Each structure stands twice: as structure tokens, then as C-alpha cells.
Homo-oligomer: A and B are copies of this chain.
Amino acid sequence: MDPRPKAVVLLSGGVDSATAAALTARDGVALYALTFAYGQRHAAEIEAARRVARALGVAGHEVLTIDLRAFGGSALTADIDVPKDRTPAAMGADIPVTYVPARNTIFLAFALAWAEVLDAGDLVIGVNVLDSSGYPDCRPEFIEAFERLAALATSAGVTGRRRVRVRTPLISLTKAEIIRAGMAAGVDYSLTLSCYDPAPDGAACGRCDACALRRKGFVEAGVPDPTRYRAG
């Protein structure tokens, strides 16, 4: 029996979730990684999650397919063009079209289910202030509301055996600070993928909001960017 406490970590294959996972592992926690295939146009993201999970030495990794496309309404799941070459001001001005309705609510709900079966005390999610500017379900008040819900939602909550906590180790960090913290924890960012619109071979576009934030983060962190960008 592994004596370590357990955490279910939402792992997308991007910079943030890989870093949140690595920082949690460093605390001596056994990681159970949970990745969603949710009608993304790029399976490359799933492959990145598998690489990252392997590098982290997770105790378990589940990839769940859920079909958010049935509901429509987002560039990440439907056939809307991913916006390119936007300024930071334009990115922050409103809720991005790449927003997936209730995404983190759905993801955390599944994580909660797995945590209950595993008897894991923590859920880990890589939300942070940068994301919070546009995505409602990345804000601290959302996370706190989910913790309150979790306490009432599960048999563990009812019996008082344990309350599930949602760890957000990146919540107050900038992208540059996340990258520096991840480097210190040994994250190999060449395994990660942030791009909303990667090439078939997995190369990042370099121009979508996610690529722009990632590039800026590496520059500001003063760390070489190991990302493979598409030529041209």
C-alpha cells in the first residue's frame, strides 16, 4: 500500500496543469491524473497529457471522453475559428469564444467522483489569475463554491469522514511565475502543449491566445521556450 495521501489532478497537457501537478507531487502526494477528451479538434492535447503524466510518475491516469459538442457554443468544440494575433487587451476584454460552458464545473464533478472512489482528499486544478480575467469558472470564488458543494455532494461529506479540498497552487501566479515554479519543480515543458490550433504533427501555431500567453510567459520568466512552433 502506498502510504501517501492521494489527489485527483486535472491534467490537460498544458503548462498550468503540468505545473500544478508537479507542485502537488513535490508535497509527497500520490497523483491520479484525469484528462478529458471533450470534442477538441486536437488529439495532440491528449498525447501531451499522457507524456506529462508519465514524466510525473502518476499513480493512475484516466482519459474520459465526454461530448460537449452535443451542446454547441465554443470554438474549442465546434467549428468556429480560433482567434489569432489578439492583443492582451482584446483577450481580457470579454469572455473568450474559446470558453467552454461550465467546463470546470463538469471537470471538477468528475474529479470529485473519482476522489470519492479513491478516498482521495484533494482535487488539484491549475486555474490562475491570468485565466480568471476571462473565464468565470477560474475565479477563487468559484473554487470556494465548489468546495462547499463537494462537502454536501458525497457520502464522505455526509458521514463527516472527510471534506474534499480543491488545491489551486497557481491561483495567484502570473504565467512567468508559474513557469519559474515549474522549472524549479523539474517540469519538462517540452512535453506540454498549450496551442488551441496545433498542426497535425503537434507543432503549436504560435498565434492563438494560448500560444501568445505561453510565449510571453517564457520571455518574462527569462527561460528558453522549448515549444516547437509551426514554420511560417
Contacts and interface: CB of A to CB of B under 8 A. Distances in A.
A70 B66 contact: no
Contacts of A117: 71-73, 101
Contacts of A188: none
Contacts of A104: 153
Interface stretch (A49-57, A142-150, A175-183, A192-200): A142-150
A146 to B, nearest CB: 6
A101 B154 contact: yes
Contacts of A154: 101-102, 136-137
B70 A64 contact: yes
Interface string A86-122: 0000000001000111111110111011101100000
Q: How large is the interface on A (under 10, 10 to 19, 20 to 34, 35 or more residues)?
A: 35 or more
B116 A112 contact: no
A69 to B, nearest CB: 10
A73 B105 contact: no
Across chains A and B, which 4 residue pairs bring their CB atoms closest together, nearest first?
Answer: A102-B113, A73-B117, A101-B116, A101-B113
Given A101-B116, A101-B117, A137-B154, 18 more contacts: A62-B71, A64-B67, A68-B113, A70-B114, A71-B117, A72-B117, A95-B158, A101-B113, A101-B155, A102-B112, A102-B116, A105-B109, A108-B109, A136-B155, A136-B158, A141-B152, A146-B149, A148-B148
